[in-house]
């Protein structure tokens, strides 16, 4: 019995840091419509990366989505907007993690690019700007160029020690 208790304690002590780290990873995009429709043209970005007001602005003019016509039917647009705003940095599904995404962002700011947020700049501050113009990367918005495999954007996995 004493040996079993020691093993349990050892496992609990070893697993605690893993649990804390796992809690700081972005959850994977869970909505099928959002993943399919957004993922048809680009990696479907985690909703937590922007506040709800930004997602509302982005979804309100899909015919001019970063120079492309990304128009959707009313039903899909409404479903995607609902998912993105509910899971946004200031949405009800984000919970306690909201502060890290919103820190430094003015309440009146409506960024339409994740790369324009203070959170993104904090997380990428040590990366040389030339890295984003590398032919393999092309742009800072190409998250999947660097966040691959176990750290892949498609799984919502970004290391975060912020």
In this predicted model, what pLDDT tens digit does every residue of 83-103 receive, in sequence order?
Answer: 999 999 998 887 777 788 899
- The chain-wide mean pLDDT, for the chain, equals 77
Q: What confidence tier does 58 reach under pLDDT thresholds 50, 70, 90?
A: very high
pLDDT at 147: 76
Longest dimension (CA), the chain: 66
The better pLDDT of the pair 112, 143 is held by 112
Contact, 28 vs 155, CB < 8 A? yes
pLDDT at 27: 56
Question: Given a cut of 60, is residue 15 above it in pLDDT?
Answer: no
Q: What confidence tier does 134 reach under pLDDT thresholds 50, 70, 90?
A: confident
Question: Given a cut of 80, is residue 150 above it in pLDDT?
Answer: no
pLDDT at 149: 62
Question: Given a cut of 60, is residue 33 above it in pLDDT?
Answer: yes
């Amino acid at each position: 019995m004493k040996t079993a208790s020691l093993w349990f304690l050892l496992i609990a002590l070893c697993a605690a840091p893993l649990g804390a780290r796992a809690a700081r990873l972005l959850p994977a995009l869970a909505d099928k419509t959002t993943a399919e429709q957004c993922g048809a043209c680009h990696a479907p970005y985690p909703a937590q990366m922007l506040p709800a007001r930004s997602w509302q602005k982005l979804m309100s003019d899909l015919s001019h989505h970063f120079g492309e016509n990304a128009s959707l039917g009313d039903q899909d647009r409404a479903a995607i907007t609902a998912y993105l705003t509910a899971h946004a940095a200031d949405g009800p599904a984000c919970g306690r993690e909201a502060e890290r995404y919103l820190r430094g962002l003015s309440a009146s700011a409506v960024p339409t690019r994740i790369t324009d947020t203070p959170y993104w700049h904090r997380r990428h501050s040590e990366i040389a700007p030339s890295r984003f113009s590398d032919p393999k990367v092309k742009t800072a918005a190409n998250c999947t160029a660097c966040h691959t495999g176990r750290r892949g954007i498609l799984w919502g996995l970004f290391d975060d020690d912020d």
